[in-house]
Chains A and B, each alone.
Chain A
Amino acid sequence: MESMDSLTFRMQKDEMDDQELISRIKNPESRNFGYNLLIKKYQQRIYWHIRKMVIDHDDADDLVQETFIKVYRHIESFRADSQLFTWIYRIATNECLNFLKKKKRRFFLPIGDVEHELKQKIDQSPMIEGDEIQKKLQKALLKLPDKQRLVFNMKYFDEMKYEAIAEITGTSVGSLKANYHHAVKKIEEFVAND
């Protein structure tokens, strides 16, 4: 199995820069090649970003595919005034939030049932490995509202800057800081009282 520890978030030297990737994708002759390189460059970051939100691998797999298909469809409308990776993150984030919203709609008692289902997955899935305290942390995260959990994941696990998170979520840096601070307090309380 592959873990996120093995992945580095820094751009590899052999990775093509975004501008070059985009121009290749926009050129019909090199489109498939450029798109393939783009997926290879961003697939892991996007997968782990989604996976932490939806917990289940199969769900994450579907959403990663949807994200990259949307990237392919809308690459012509991408403007260089934002970074490519924040644009892709934004698409992935929307996919996640919409997925979770739909999932909650399927249950008649929203938050509790989805949280219960995901907690069970944390306990039982063979593709989740970790000691008790790590699993407790993940279960505590499920008690947070989706958007707050999203901000927490990007800041705590992905170690992203607030400015980048602000661009992805469309929120101000100030409210993100407050949001993260509240999330940390809640999580510490949840874990301590569990």
Chain B
Amino acid sequence: MIEPGKNKFKLEELKKEQIFKAPKGYFNDLPQVIQARVLEENSKRQPIQIILPKMALRYALPALLLLLAVTFVLMNDSSKDLEPSALIAQVDDETILYYLENEIDLTTNEILESVPDLYLEDEFGNITDGMEEINIDNEMLEKYGIEQELTF
């Protein structure tokens, strides 16, 4: 043990020396050993490289084509841009009549409720225009056989 303060070991005063040794002939054989390992690894990897393109062709390619076809159809679907009135215009009158007669069960009131007043006014004018207010008493109603509950 060196006394504190006295010291000291100086690295620069030490002769630089390599103490490690390798087995004799090691560096002559090493390139062949490494190349043998590379060949071995390459042969292990090769089947994977062959399988991958086959799998890609068998599964991925049809899926990709299908996806492209669907995308193409959706992109070129002109019907999605049409207005509802244009779509209805494409249906022939007989079909519409048949549908209205047989498929729809709506009362007149329901139909009138669903049509905006403004539309009715535009088409027919206000149906009460020009009409005088009529007061009908109960006696007159009885005379014509109409029940009292029916009031306007």
Contact = CB atoms under 8 A, between A and B. Distances in A.
Given A127-B23, A188-B11, 19 more contacts: A1-B21, A1-B24, A5-B18, A35-B35, A36-B31, A47-B27, A48-B20, A51-B22, A55-B20, A69-B34, A69-B37, A69-B38, A127-B21, A127-B22, A129-B19, A129-B21, A156-B16, A157-B16, A192-B2
A135 interface: yes
B35 A4 contact: no
A68 B10 CA distance: 37
Contact of B41 (A3, A36, A69): A69
Contacts of A129: 19, 21
Contact of B20 (A40, A51, A184): A51
Nearest to B31: A39
A157 B18 contact: yes
Contacts of A156: 11, 16
B33 A65 contact: yes
A71 to B, nearest CB: 9
Given A69-B41, A187-B11, A57 B23 contact: yes
Interface string A143-182: 0000000000000110000000000000000000000000
Contact of B19 (A2, A65, A135): A135
B9 to A, nearest CB: 4
A134 B17 contact: yes
Interface in A31-57: 32, 35-36, 39-40, 43-44, 47-48, 51-52, 55, 57
A137 B21 contact: no
A193 B1 contact: yes
B22 A130 contact: no
A192 B8 CA distance: 6
Interface in B1-52: 1-2, 7-11, 14, 16-24, 26-27, 30-31, 33-35, 37-38, 41
B36 to A, nearest CB: 10
Nearest to B24: A1
A184 B13 CA distance: 12
A154 B75 CA distance: 63
Q: Is the interface of A mostly helix, strand, loop or mixed?
A: helix
Interface of B: 1-2, 7-11, 14, 16-24, 26-27, 30-31, 33-35, 37-38, 41
A19 to B, nearest CB: 20
A94 interface: no
Ranked 7 nearest A-B pairs via Cβ: A130-B19, A1-B21, A4-B18, A39-B31, A192-B9, A191-B9, A127-B21
A128 B33 CA distance: 23
Contact of B27 (A2, A36, A187): A2
Contacts of B9: 188, 191-192
A113 B96 CA distance: 91
A45 to B, nearest CB: 11
Which has the most chain A C-beta neighbours within 10 Å: B16, B33, B38?
B38
B7 A192 contact: yes
Contacts of B7: 192
Contacts of A68: 34
